[in-house]
Amino acid sequence: MATPTLAYDIDASRPAQRELDVRVRFAGVTADEVEFFLPVWTPGSYLVREHARHLSRVVALEPSSGRELRCVKSTKNRFRIARDGADAIELRYRVYAHELSVRTCDLDPGHAFWNHTGVLLWPLGHESLAATIRVTHPPQWSLHCSLPAGSHALAASGPGEAVVRADDLDQALDAPVLLTAGPRLAFEFDGVPHGIVLDGLGTISPPDSLVDDLKAIVAQAAAVFGSNLPYANYLFLAMFADEGYGGIEHRDSSVLLMPRTSLTTARGYRDFLALAAHELFHAWNVKRLRPRELWRYDYERENYTRLLWLMEGWTAYYDDLLVARAGLMSHQDYLDAMAKNVQGMRTAPGRFELSLEESSFDAWLRLYRPDENTRNSSQNYYGNGAVAALCLDLAIRRASSGRHSLDDVLRHLWQHTFEQDRGYVLADVEEAVRTLAGEAETELLHAMVQGPLDPPLADLLQDVGANLNSEDLGRPFLGITFKAGTTIAASVIRGSPAFDAGFAPADELLAVQDLRVTASNWRTVLDAVARIGEPLDVLVARRGVIVGLTVTPSAGPGTAHIALDESAGPQELAARRAWLGAN
Ligand SMILES: [Zn+2]
C-alpha cells in the first residue's frame, strides 16, 4: 500500500481580488470516502471564528483524468469526497482573505498574510501526515514563515514561488505566512537565529536599536526559564497598519500588529517591545508549557481550560517585566504600566462575580465577545491575571527572603511538566508554589484564582519600596462610561451612583441641571455643577422617550498610581533591583 502524500498549492497572485486559490492533492489514498476539515478557531485566540465561512466553490476531481468527484458538505467545516476509484483526490477552492488581524487572513496588493487554520482543508484521520505547501505570489514579495523550505525536488523555481514543508497538521497550523516586500532583519542569540519581518511601515524607518533591543528581551526571557532556547529558530512577523493592535503566539514565530506610527514615539516603541516580549514569552508559556487539556488541540470545537490567568495573565505580567529587566523601560514607567492594570481591576466589579478560573473557562463566551455588561459580570484574565501574578511573585519573594520568585515557579513547572512530556494542572502550580514558598502563598494563589479577586497589593509593594495610592481621590463620581464621541452610555458600573439611580447602557444623556451636555463639554459641565452628596437632575433620552433621573455623585475611587518610595531602605532597594533589574 502506497504511503499517502499531501500537497497544497496556494496561489496568492491575485491580491486585488482578496482571494487565495487553493489546490490540495491527496494521493495514495485507499479509502472509498475521505472527509476534509477546516479548523473553526486559531489556537491562541479563544473564539470560534468559523473560518469555513470564507471558502467558496469547493470542488473535487481526479487529477489524472480531470473527472469530477462527488463532494458533499457534511458539517459547517467539513467536506466528504467519494473517491470512486480515483488514484488521487484533488480539491480546489477559493478563500476570501480580507480581514487584517493576527488570527485571520488578509490579501491585498500591499501584502498577504494568512493563518493556515483558515486555508488548509486537511484529510481527517491523517493529522500526522507531512505536507508540502507551494505558494505562488507577486514577484516583488518574499515569503516569511517558520516552516522549513521544501525538499530540493520541490524547491521554488524562481521569484514569485516558494515551497515550505510541515511534518504534520499541528506544525502546519502553527506557522502563519507573511508575504511582503518589507525588510527582514536578523540576529542570533545563543547561536540560535532570530528574524523580524517588518511589513507595512511605508516610509517609516524602524529604530536603529531594534535588533539589539529584541536580543536583550530574548536574553531576559531565556533567563526566566534558565534553559536553552526551546526553538531552533524564531521569527517575528510584524505588521503595521493605520489601525489595529494585537499579537498571537506560535511555537517558532509570532505575529504582531500595531499602528504604523508606533515605532516613531518612545511610548509606542516601548509598547511594541512589550508586545514582542509577550509573544516571545509564549514560546515557553503556552506553546510548550501548557495545560493538560490543551496538550492536544481539538481544532473543530471550543477547548476549555481554567488556566488562562496563568497562560495569559502571567505572560502579561512578564511582558513589561522583561522590557524593564532588559533596561529598556524605567522602574517608574514599569510601575505606571502596572498601575493601569490595577486601575482596570479596581473599576470592574465583575471580579467579585466571576473568578479568574471561571473567566478563563468562559473566554469563548466573554473575553472575545465583550458587551455593555462585561465589566460588571466578568473579569479580564490578562490585566487582572497580571496583578495576581505580581502579588504572587512579591509574596514568594517575601516568604523566601528573596531566594525565590515567580521565575522559579515557572522553571519548576517547566522541568516537572513540559520536560516530562506532559501538560500541567492546577495542582502542579500549587506544588511549585508550596515547594518554593510555603502553604500561605499557595493559599493566596488559591484565593486569587478561585475567589473574588481582591489581592493585598499595597502591602506587598512596600517590600520593593513602592507605594500604591490613588490620585484625583474624591472627584464627583457617577460610574458611567460613554460610547466614543457621544453621551450615550456604554456601560454603567454595578453599585455606582448611576447604577443605583437607574441609568442603563444605551441611555443618551441630554442635560445635567438644565444645562445641555455633549461629548465635548460633558466633563466641563459635570465639574461645574456636580458636588459629592448633592442630587443632580439629569435628562435622558431612552428608546426615543425623554426621562428625568436624579443621581447623587459619590467620592470617586480615583486613579491608581504606584510611586517609587524615595525613602526606601537598602533592603527594599535591593529587592526592587532583584525584581526589576539594575537600572
Ligand atoms: Zn498572550
pLDDT digits (tens, 9 = 90+) for 58-70: 999 999 999 999 9
User: Ligand 1 mean position to 275 CA, how many Å?
Assistant: 9
H or E segment and range at residue 19: strand 19-27
User: Residue 280 C-alpha to ligand 1 middle, in angstroms?
Assistant: 9
Confidence band for 150, pLDDT divided at 50, 70 and 90: confident
Smallest CA-to-CA distance from 237 within 111, 415, 84, 402 is with 111
Span from the CA of 356 to the centroid of ligand 1 (angstroms)? 15
**Residues measured by CB to lie within 5 Å of ligand 1, the ion:** 312, 315
Mean predicted confidence (pLDDT) in 336-365 = 96
**251 pLDDT above the threshold of 60:** yes
Of 387, 303, 310, the residue nearest 344 (C-alpha): 387
CA 206/CA 458 separation, integer angstroms: 39
Predicted confidence band at 3 (pLDDT cuts at 50, 70, 90)?
Answer: confident
Which H or E run contains 271?
Answer: helix 266-281
- Dist CA 412 CA 406 (whole Å): 10
Distance 379 CA to ligand 1 centre (A): 16
Name the β-bridge partners of 23: 9, 92
Q: Is the pLDDT of residue 1 over 60?
A: no
User: Which pLDDT band, with edges at 50, 70 and 90, does 156 fall under?
Assistant: low
Domain residue spans in the chain?
Answer: 5-178, 184-267, 308-466+566-580, 476-555
Superfamily (CATH H level) for 476-555: PDZ domain (2.30.42.10)
What's the whole-number mean pLDDT along residues 209-235?
Answer: 96
pLDDT digits (tens, 9 = 90+) for 388-408: 999 999 999 999 999 999 999
Q: What's the gap in Å between 383 CA and the centre of ligand 1?
A: 11
pTM (2 d.p.): 0.96
pLDDT value of residue 152: 58
- What are the pLDDT digits (tens) for 42-53? 999 999 999 999
Q: How far is the CA of 233 from the centre of ligand 1 (A)?
A: 20
C-alpha cell at 428: 502542579
Q: How many beta carbons lie within 10 A of that of residue 404, not counting itself?
A: 21
What's the CA-to-centroid distance between 63 and ligand 1, angstroms? 42
**Sorting pLDDT into bands at 50, 70 and 90, what band is 471?**
confident
From ligand 1's centre to the CA of 555, what distance in Å?
36
Find the largest Cα–Cα distance for the chain: 85
Distance 371 CA to ligand 1 centre (A): 21
Average pLDDT over residues 350-378: 95
Query: Residue 133 above 80 pLDDT?
Result: yes
Q: How far is the CA of 312 from the centre of ligand 1 (A)?
A: 5
Confidence of residue 151 (pLDDT cuts 50, 70, 90): low
- Which CA distances in Å does 53 have to 57, 58, 104, 107, 552? 12, 12, 12, 16, 50
How many A from CA of 440 to the centre of ligand 1? 28
For residue 299, how far is its CA from the centre of ligand 1 (angstroms)?
19
Q: Tell me 358's DSSP state.
A: H
Tell me the β-bridge partners of 449: none
Q: Terminus-to-terminus CA distance in the chain, angstroms?
A: 65
Distance 367 CA to ligand 1 centre (A): 13
- How many angstroms does the Cα of residue 314 sit away from the middle of ligand 1? 9
Distance 106 CA to ligand 1 centre (A): 21
pLDDT reported for residue 154 = 59
According to DSSP, residue 351 is labeled: G
Q: Give the distance (Å) from ligand 1 centre to CA of residue 253.
A: 13
Q: How far is the CA of 77 from the centre of ligand 1 (A)?
A: 27
**Which option is the CATH number for 5-178: 3.90.1170.50, 2.60.40.3650, 2.40.400.10, 1.10.3720.10?**
2.60.40.3650
Interval between CA 512 and ligand 1 midpoint (Å): 42
Ligand 1 center from residue 230 Cα (angstroms): 18
Q: Among 184-188, 217-221, 242-246, whose mean pLDDT is lowest?
A: 242-246
- 301-317: pLDDT as tens digits: 999 999 999 999 999 99
Residue 153 has pLDDT above 70, yes or no: no
Q: Across the chain, what does the average pLDDT equal?
A: 96
State in words which class domain 184-267 has. Answer: alpha beta
How many CB atoms within 10 Å of residue 426? 17
CATH architecture observed for domain 308-466+566-580: Orthogonal Bundle (1.10)
Q: How far is the CA of 126 from the centre of ligand 1 (A)?
A: 30
pLDDT score of 512 more than 70 = yes
- Centre of ligand 1 to C-alpha 71, Å, is 38
For residue 430, how far is its CA from the centre of ligand 1 (angstroms)?
Answer: 22
Q: What's the pLDDT score for residue 441?
A: 97
**Ligand 1 centroid from CA 542, angstroms:** 39
Q: What angle do CA 364, 274, 445 make, to 5 degrees?
A: 55
CA of 317 to the centre of ligand 1 (A): 10
Q: Compute the distance from residue 177 Cα to the ligand 1 centre, in Å.
A: 19
> Is there a shared CATH topology between the 5-178 domain and the 308-466+566-580 domain?
no
For residue 248, the CA-to-ligand 1 centroid distance in Å is 6
How far, in Å, from the CA of 473 to the mean position of ligand 1?
33
Q: Could you tell me the distance, in angstroms and rounded to a whole number, from the CA of residue 17 to the centre of ligand 1? A: 32
> Do the beta carbons of residue 196 and residue 238 sit within 8 Å?
yes
3-state secondary structure of 256: strand
Is the pLDDT at 25 greater than 90, yes or no?
yes
Mean pLDDT of 122-144: 97
Cβ pair 202, 134 in contact under 8 A: no
Element (H, E) at 441: helix 439-450
Query: From ligand 1's centre to the CA of 499, what distance in Å?
Result: 33
Instruction: Identify the pLDDT of residue 227.
Output: 80
Span 219-240, average pLDDT: 96
267 Cα: distance to centroid of ligand 1 (angstroms): 20
Q: For residue 247, how far is its CA from the centre of ligand 1 (angstroms)? A: 7
What pLDDT score does 221 carry? Answer: 98
Contact 102, 257 (CB under 8 A): yes
